[in-house]
Amino acid sequence: MVPVLDVDALIGDPQTRIIVCCGAGGVGKTTTAAALGLRAAESGRRVVVLTIDPARRLAQSLGLTTLDNTPRPVKGIDDTLGGSLDAMMLDMKRTFDDVVEAHATAEKAEQILANPFYQAVSSSFAGTQEYMAMEKLGQLRLEADRDPDNPRWDLIVVDTPPSRSALDFLDAPKRLGSFLDGRFIRLLAAPAKAGGRAYLKVFSAGVNVATKTLTKVLGGQMLSDVQTFVAALDTMFGGFRKRADHTYALLSDRMTTFIVVAAPERDALREASYFVDRLDEEQMPLAGLVVNRMYRVSAPGLSAARALGAAEALDDEDSGGPSGDASPKDPGRTPITQGLLRMHAIQAEIAARHESLAKRFVAGHPGIPMVEVPAASGDIHDLVGLRLVGNALAGS
């Protein structure tokens, strides 16, 4: 028997301080994170939900006109048990700017923020979004822990970036740190740091040739911008790696747990399988799997084949049967009944496929707690819809 993911026990446990919702893009991570945050808040927890979803659907679902890099209170929740709910959306560049301003002198920070290469890296460098998501998580945790007796939040729910590559947010700090303190960047930075005659003493003719080649490839201004950027950022290199290591350790802490979110489709469950295996490999705490948008049928005993057979039988009856000597008792009702039967057949077929795919995942990952969330009839765009999703997550 498949163990059930007990969401209420999870969010009700005061030892659970961080929930990370991860999965492939388009499987409902944002909605799941918002629904978990709302249910936890209405059960008495002080919650902040951090989303990295560029579609901004979380703001709409929570009834907010906009989300930005500052946690904002969500109005309209049931706070009778003393809970609260804040929500925010990662502003990648603003977070990077905050890091620079916090860990560099005012003069250095001004140089870095004005540098064209920094502006490109902070806005679009591969992995920056994932790295800054981890930076922001670390900031939220520090703020939450500032007053242990009366923390601003006692639960942080993270909606991870919609990356195609599984668990990019775990790898990004390592990748970005390696880029920033790598030998290639050091080579580019050396001319700006050494300068004049000292540069000639430090570097061989071969390095001079390499620099000239890079100048041709990147352009003189681009190379100069990189050199100036790295020289100004030099004092922060160790800080990037140190904070990345700290946040990585935070993710494997016993107060953190992961929920893998999937849709009942082959590719999404294949990604979910990779997520589960990777979390196990990294020894990250996994709470379980949420399978969103599962099709259910109102008459589970009526298979797709039987429904189609009944619709065809009505066709025969309507046409007078094989001998043509009979007529339906109520001709006006027959087309409606046939339409309903055919619609049921389509839904039953989809539901059977969903169930088969879910069973295949369970067979490959026995013991992983799971909960299925039925497909909604429309988009989730308000707190009422999020409560229904929360009920489904809790098995209600």
Secondary structure (3-state) at 373 = strand
Residue 132 in this model has a pLDDT that exceeds 60: yes
Q: 297 or 198, which is more confident?
A: 297
Residue 167 banded pLDDT, cuts 50, 70, 90: low
**pLDDT value at position 309?**
77
Q: With contact defined as beta carbons under 8 Å apart, do 260 and 23 qualify? A: yes
Lowest mean pLDDT among 22-36, 156-170, 241-255, 257-271: 156-170
Alpha-carbon separation of residue 272 from 3, 24, 25, 323, 351 (angstroms)? 17, 7, 11, 55, 19
Domain 7-173+250-295+375-393 indexed as CATH 3.30.540.10 = no
The overall average pLDDT reported for the chain is: 79
Alpha-carbon separation of residue 277 from 67, 173, 185, 252, 260 (angstroms)? 33, 20, 34, 15, 11
CA distance linking residue 17 with residue 37, whole number of Å: 12
Which residues are 154's β-sheet partners? none
Instruction: Give mean pLDDT, residues 84-95.
Output: 89
**pLDDT value at position 111?**
84
Residue 199 in this model has a pLDDT that exceeds 70: no
Which tens digit of pLDDT belongs to each residue from 203-257? 344 444 444 444 444 445 656 666 666 666 655 656 666 777 787 788 889 999 9
Residue 368 banded pLDDT, cuts 50, 70, 90: very high
CA distance linking residue 374 with residue 387, whole number of Å: 13
**pLDDT value at position 218?**
44
CA distance linking residue 109 with residue 228, whole number of Å: 12
Q: 381 or 369, which is more confident?
A: 369
Instruction: Give mean pLDDT, residues 308-335.
Output: 61
Task: Determine whether 85 is exposed, middle or buried from the number of CB atoms within 10 Å of its CB (0-12, 13-18, 19+).
Answer: buried
Residue 291 in this model has a pLDDT that exceeds 90: yes
The proportion of the chain whose per-residue pLDDT surpasses 70, expressed as a percent, equals 72
Residues of the chain with CATH 3.40.50.300: 7-173+250-295+375-393
Instruction: Give mean pLDDT, residues 58-66.
Output: 78
